[in-house]
Amino acid sequence: MDTTRYHIRMATPADAPVIAHHRRAMFDDIGVSGDTGTMQAAFAEWVKPHLVSGHYLGWMVIDTQAPAETIVGGAGVRIVEWAPMPADPEAHLRPYLLNVYVEPDHRQRGIARALVEAIIAWAHDHQPRVGALTLHASEYGRPLYESLGFIPTNEMRLMIKDKHQHT
């Protein structure tokens, strides 16, 4: 990332609409089905108090060559309490990395990598309480995450839709 043009700053509650827009655009770009418009509005309402409480941390990329502060990318972590594990008994926070997004006109410039590297640096600064970063990678993001040392895990999921339905 060209640091003479782009600057990373921490998100504030005022950034909630942009973070929600990025989240919707991310899902739209990868072809996720569902009502992303309703999700965007609900996420904007959800993320604002979580930014205030520190349960969601966001990193925003600013294009310093734009006439006004223009956010061109962002990423975040949702702080999840985690039970101690044998491999890392002191760690009790498991940041979940999400919402990595760069506006199309600013892609292929190392911005997503710089965002994830900033989050990894934050995680290192918060050891031993933070023992691991987790995420769900799209096919587009997987090569970036693997190049930064993320490895596949054996997580499984059951979507809870209706108590009488298990698929």
- Helix 36-53 vs helix 16-29: angle between axes, to the nearest 10 degrees? 140
pLDDT at position 165 is 54
Distance, CA of 33 to CA of 149 (rounded, Å):
29
55-110 pLDDT per residue, tens: 999 999 999 999 888 999 999 999 988 888 888 888 888 899 999 999 999 999 99
With a pLDDT cut of 70, the percent of the chain lying above it is 96
Domain ranges of the chain: 6-147
- Provide mean pLDDT across the span 39-63: 97
Strands across the sheet with 70-81, in order?
6-10, 56-63, 70-81, 93-102
pLDDT at position 164 is 56
Count of beta carbons in the 10 Å neighbourhood of residue 68: 5
With a pLDDT cut of 90, the percent of the chain lying above it is 71
Topology of domain 6-147, CATH:
Aminopeptidase (3.40.630)
Closest C-alpha to 18, from 102, 86, 92, 94? 102
Query: Contact 93/132 with Cβ under 8 angstroms?
Result: no
Residue 166 confidence (pLDDT) above 60: no
Residue 151 confidence (pLDDT) above 70: yes
Distance, CA of 129 to CA of 2 (rounded, Å):
32
Query: Contact 45/6 with Cβ under 8 angstroms?
Result: no
Residue 8 confidence (pLDDT) above 60: yes
Query: Contact 101/75 with Cβ under 8 angstroms?
Result: yes
Query: Contact 57/10 with Cβ under 8 angstroms?
Result: yes
Q: Residue-wise over 141-156: b if at least 16 C-beta within 10 A, else e? A: beebbeeeebeeeeee
Count of beta carbons in the 10 Å neighbourhood of residue 38: 10
114-132 pLDDT per residue, tens: 999 999 999 999 988 888 8
34 backbone φψ class: left, alpha, beta (φ>0; ψ -120 to 50): left
What is this structure's pTM? 0.90
